[in-house]
Amino acid sequence: MTQASALEQVKRQIMWNRLLSVVEEQAQVLIRTAFSTSVREAGDLSAGVFDLKGRMLAQAVTGTPGHVNAMAASVGFFLRRYPAGSMEEGDVYVTNDPWLGTGHTHDFTVVTPTFLDGRVVALFASTSHVVDVGGRGFGADARQVYEEGLRIPIMELAKRGVMNEALLHIVRANVREPVQVEGDLYSLAVCNETGCRRLIEMMREFKLDSLDTLAETIVENSRQAMLEEIRALPFGTYDNAMRIDGFEKAIDLVAHMTIGESGIDVDFTGTSPVSSYGINVPITYTQAYASFGVRCVIGGAVPNNAGSLAPVRISAPEGSILNAPDPCAVTARHVVGQMLPDVVLGCLYQAKPEAVPAEGTSCLWITALLGGHGIAGDNEGGGDTDGARPFTISMFHAGGTGGRPGKDGLNATAFPSGVRNTPVEINETIAPIVVWRKEYREDSGGAGEHRGGAGQVMEIAHAQGAPFALSGMFDRILHPPRGRGGGADGTRGRVRLGSGVELAGKGRQTVPAGERLVLEMPGGGGLGEAKNRLRELVARDVRNGFLSPEAAARDYGWSESGE
């Protein structure tokens, strides 16, 4: 390598790093300007920069795999509708179509072209989860996508810098929280605009009139780095299956992973067919989370972009619950889709057992609550709603993750989504609810050399004593997270009223006046034999309330005397 070429390589690496800082600033602008707590507090978003071929060059670390990796595919759909040559400065495009975006109508994806001296040179895209899009609300009850609220095809959010007021007027008229939803559309547009400005500054600084050369370097280097990691694995086909609760019946998720010279192929043939309810998964969301499962173990140090994603190929038969066609209901697609990393990791455990954790809760326990006229009144046996403040809120919470190689599972932590638990104080500020209890769930983590992460218990009531509705989107109630390598299963979840009445894991249900909703979230599975756990770690868990003395004696042979 000549001195000039070496310097050029260093320069390109600096520019690559600069792109990463640009998209991270883009994401932070989205967080700081967002109206919805799911974005502002939980971080349910994605941000990235793309070349004119629709290839993702860099993504923000801030964000969820479901958004980021699905958004990576969605930009191609935008370019089909609006080719780069037809775009004008000030144009902004939007959709929440589940099959063109990130899998359900509650996610808006916005794409903005970047212009340098009158020429389009790149695209910025961002996605965020909004609190409401009308219809039945955030939940799994719908039978078709038409019941799930507004569905906006790829269209102009702004033209030459002027917002599409007709579209905004339609949005405001059809959602329960018009200020929040419209505000989030503006925040998506402004975060992309920030990315555009920072990219132009970078291109002028480095005297670039195109990103083509840099894009090829990023994509090819990432692809090769990913292939090197894959080729270090033992080639072959590895199978795994997982059974989860489903809605009307249990669901089997079946994966066949083939590792070879050209990459990794994951085929979900054998998986259950589509559901009659809104837990179906569009293929882009399946590809997003299944590929993330691979990346958790393989190529974790390789930046996530079109190059590193290319060697991981995901397929599922059309008509299966992981490739649900239009017009299937899909609002709660996360309940199934977020299980896929654990399914994929079960395949990788056979190829690289030293690197794979046990199963965890996996799907978020999103608590969608609604109140007001007609939501949970006398006609549903809930009680009088007169005078009660109407509200819609989605609270993001999680159970425990599986025990990890060399470490315990994480307590009450969202994996694989990566979103944060929304703070109690924020939820109580924006909605008339009181969270009476939020604590770790004792004895919920599966026993093992490395204990499964603890779940959590929450107790929620209406601040005015009025009835309210719960849209259940919970799993791992009938089928717990499984332990691995001799570890025990985690504890199953539970949904009930304070009076003891059991509630279903999915579907719209009423919490009557004066009652409290109690959520007991699952714990992660244990990793390795419990007999190999260090005694001091068992004693620490007892002191910290993660483990009762009775469970410590039963599962680990521990006694307070230390014997």
Between 348 and 378, the higher pLDDT residue: 348
Residue 443 has pLDDT above 90, yes or no: yes
Mean pLDDT of 298-323: 95
Report in angstroms the alpha-carbon separations of 238 from 244, 255, 266, 320. 20, 8, 9, 20
Mean pLDDT of 549-555: 96
Mean pLDDT of 343-360: 98
Q: Which tokens belong to 2? A: 């000549």
Sign for the pseudo-dihedral over CA of 175, 176, 179, 185: negative
The CATH classification number of 3-210 equals: 3.30.450
What pLDDT sits at residue 374? 82
Mean pLDDT of 289-302: 94
CA distance 208 to 213: 10
Among left, alpha and beta (phi > 0; psi -120 to 50; other), residue 335 is alpha
Torsion of CA 430, 433, 436, 438, to 10 degrees: -50
Q: What is the pLDDT of residues 482-530, one digit of tens each?
A: 999 999 999 999 999 999 999 999 999 999 999 999 999 999 999 999 9
Q: What percent of the chain has pLDDT over 90?
A: 88
Residue 10: φ, ψ to 5°: -65, -40
3-class DSSP assignment, residue 49: strand
Q: Which tokens belong to 453? A: 């992460």
CA distance 473 to 454: 20
What pLDDT sits at residue 379? 43
Mean pLDDT of 540-551: 96
User: By the 8 A CB rule, do 488 and 359 touch?
Assistant: no
Residue 4 has pLDDT above 60, yes or no: no
- Output the average pLDDT for the chain: 94
Count of beta carbons in the 10 Å neighbourhood of residue 153: 10
What pLDDT sits at residue 382? 53
User: What single letter denotes the amino acid at residue 299?
Assistant: G
Q: What is the pLDDT of residues 17-69, one digit of tens each?
A: 999 999 999 999 999 999 988 898 888 899 999 999 999 999 998 888 888 88
User: What single letter denotes the amino acid at residue 105?
Assistant: T
User: By the 8 A CB rule, do 469 and 136 touch?
Assistant: no
Residue 563 has pLDDT above 60, yes or no: no
Look at 90-99, 331-340, 415-424, 549-558 and tell me which has the smallest mean pLDDT.
Answer: 415-424
Side-chain-side CA neighbours of 356 within 13 Å: the count stands at 23
Burial 307-335 (b: 16+ CB within 10 A, else e): bbbbbbbbbbeeebbbbbeeebbbbbbbb
Adjacent-strand bridge partners of 159: 162
Q: Which tokens belong to 218? A: 């990023």
Model pTM score? 0.94
CA distance 307 to 221: 7
How would you write 459-497 as a 3-class SS string?
EEEECCCCCEEEEEECCCCCCCCCCECCCCCCCCCEEEE
Say if strands 56-59 and 45-50 run parallel, antiparallel, or are unpaired. Answer: antiparallel
User: By the 8 A CB rule, do 77 and 100 touch?
Assistant: yes
With cut-offs at 50, 70 and 90, classify the pLDDT of residue 1: very low
User: In a 10 Å sphere around its CB, with 0-12 CB exposed, 13-18 middle and 19+ buried, how is residue 8 labelled?
Assistant: middle
What pLDDT sits at residue 559? 84
Question: What is the DSSP secondary structure assignment for residue 20, as one 8-state letter?
Answer: H
Residue 537 has pLDDT above 80, yes or no: yes
> For the chain, what percentages of helix, strand and coil (3-state, to nearest 5) are there?
35, 25, 45
Residue 2 has pLDDT above 50, yes or no: no
Report in angstroms the alpha-carbon separations of 389 from 386, 433, 466, 493. 9, 10, 9, 30
What pLDDT sits at residue 385? 54
With cut-offs at 50, 70 and 90, classify the pLDDT of residue 403: very high
Count of beta carbons in the 10 Å neighbourhood of residue 397: 22
CA-closest candidate to residue 522, choices 438, 453, 471, 461:
453
3-class DSSP assignment, residue 370: strand
Cα-to-chain-centroid distance, residue 231:
29
Q: Which tokens belong to 434? A: 């009181």
Q: What is the pLDDT of residues 103-119, one digit of tens each?
A: 999 999 999 999 999 99
User: What single letter denotes the amino acid at residue 477?
Assistant: I
With cut-offs at 50, 70 and 90, classify the pLDDT of residue 378: very low
CA-closest candidate to residue 239, choices 351, 355, 360:
351
Q: Which tokens belong to 179? A: 């200020």
Q: Which tokens belong to 336? A: 């199934």
Q: Which tokens belong to 236? A: 């072959």
H/E run at residue 113: strand 107-116
Report in angstroms the alpha-carbon separations of 400 from 290, 320, 490, 521. 20, 28, 8, 8
Ranges of each domain in the chain: 3-210, 230-355, 357-563
Residue 381 has pLDDT above 80, yes or no: no
Sign for the pseudo-dihedral over CA of 197, 198, 200, 204: positive
